[in-house]
Amino acid sequence: MEQLIEQLKSQIIEALNFEDLTPADIETDAPLFGEGLGLDSIDALELIMLMDREYGIKLADPKQGKQIFRSVRTMAEYIQEHRTK
Amino acid sequence: MLVELYRRFAGDYPKFFKMDTLCRLGFIAAEILLKGQTSQCEKEQMSIILANRSASIKNDTDYLATISEGNYYPSPSLFVYTLPNIVTGEIAIRHHIQGETSFYILESPEQLEPIIKSYFSSPLKGGPRGALTGWCECSKPNDFYAKMQIIYGTTD
């Protein structure tokens, strides 16, 4: 799980163009939206694409997003359980 | 180069890193031009009139690569920059500019002059106003050019 979390942080930095951040700057349990990284709706779409592209996960129900994208840890937990690649 | 300029002249606007090259270019040019030389009141009343020849072709090409056959992962963050006038919005948001914004696709910078003259001779009321105008061109990743100026006139 820890390895997946670190990998996910790197992928988020690349996908969202956080050129000033390193994986160490992202707190595993910090909120991704609002406080924390302060992501917006376009970022949310990028995260959905990232899950599809990198892990073969297609999110069909938008309601799931709120829980899945709460933090890097919740994303990693969902990925570990549902990944197809 | 644009990132270096950003760090030198701004450095406090993380959204810069999410912008496409055209917006980064316009952002930096406006930053240098407006920083410390224009009051916030003047900026709020300002208009933005920009132009170029290649529209948003560089970003359009990048976006196209994300929807190519066999690799269909359309990038939302690239898609939002597939219009050249987005740069005027980014500048307006950054500097709280509330005037009109427009972006023209022209063959050469000289063609922008009559458009600006037309703007200042329009029947709009409001007294002396400024317009951030200029050329903002980016057709390839490392091939870009920007020249901006503030023109003052009266719209009475």
- What pLDDT digit, counting tens, does each position of B88-147 carry? 999 999 999 999 999 999 999 999 999 998 888 876 655 557 899 999 999 988 889 999
User: Which pLDDT score, from 0 to 100, does residue B42 have?
Assistant: 83
Q: What is the DSSP secondary structure assignment for residue B18, as one 8-state letter?
A: G
Residue among A42, A51, A55 with most chain B CBs within 10 A, to mutate: A42
| Interfacial B residues in 3-62 facing A (CB < 8 Å) | 3, 14, 17-18
Asked if B144 contacts B90 with a C-beta cutoff of 8 angstroms, the reply is: no
CATH classification at residue B85? 3.40.47.10
CA-CA distance, B133 to A68, in Å (whole number)? 44
Better-scored residue on pLDDT, B133 or B15: B133
- Structural domains of chain B, count: 1
Q: Count the Cβ atoms, other than its own, within 10 Å of residue B145.
A: 13
* Chain B residues in contact with A19 (beta carbon < 8 A): 3, 17
User: Which pLDDT score, from 0 to 100, does residue B154 have?
Assistant: 62
Handedness of CA B60, B104, B52, B152 (dihedral sign): negative
Amino acid identity of A32? Answer: L
Range of the domain at B25: 2-152
- What pLDDT digit, counting tens, does each position of B35-53 carry? 877 788 888 889 999 999 9
Q: Between the CA of residue B135 and those of B33, B84, B100, B101, B107, what are the distances in Å? A: 13, 12, 17, 14, 11
Helix (H, G, I), strand (E, B) or coil at B19: coil
Are A17 and B74 within 8 A, CB to CB?
no
User: Which pLDDT score, from 0 to 100, does residue B138 have?
Assistant: 94
* Chain B residues in contact with A85 (beta carbon < 8 A): none
Answer yes or no: is pLDDT of B74 > 60. Answer: yes
Going by pLDDT thresholds of 50, 70 and 90, the confidence category of residue B84 is very high
Residue among B75, B79, B82 with most chain A CBs within 10 A, to mutate: B75
User: Which pLDDT score, from 0 to 100, does residue A69 have?
Assistant: 93
Q: Is A18 on the interface with B (CB under 8 A)?
A: yes
Q: What is the DSSP secondary structure assignment for residue A8, as one 8-state letter?
A: H
Q: Which pTM does this prediction carry?
A: 0.85
Q: Between the CA of residue B138 and those of B2, B29, B86, B145, what are the distances in Å? A: 12, 13, 14, 7
Q: Is A19 on the interface with B (CB under 8 A)?
A: yes
Tens place of pLDDT per residue across chain A (85 aa): 999 999 999 999 999 888 778 999 899 999 998 777 778 889 999 999 999 999 999 988 878 888 999 999 999 999 999 999 8
Are A42 and B76 within 8 A, CB to CB?
yes
Among left, alpha and beta (phi > 0; psi -120 to 50; other), residue B75 is beta
Answer yes or no: is pLDDT of B156 > 70. Answer: no
Task: Compute the 3-state secondary structure of chain A and give helix, strand, coil in percent, each to the nearest 5.
Answer: 60, 0, 40
| Residues present in chain A in total | 85
**Which tokens hold the place of B149?**
């100026």
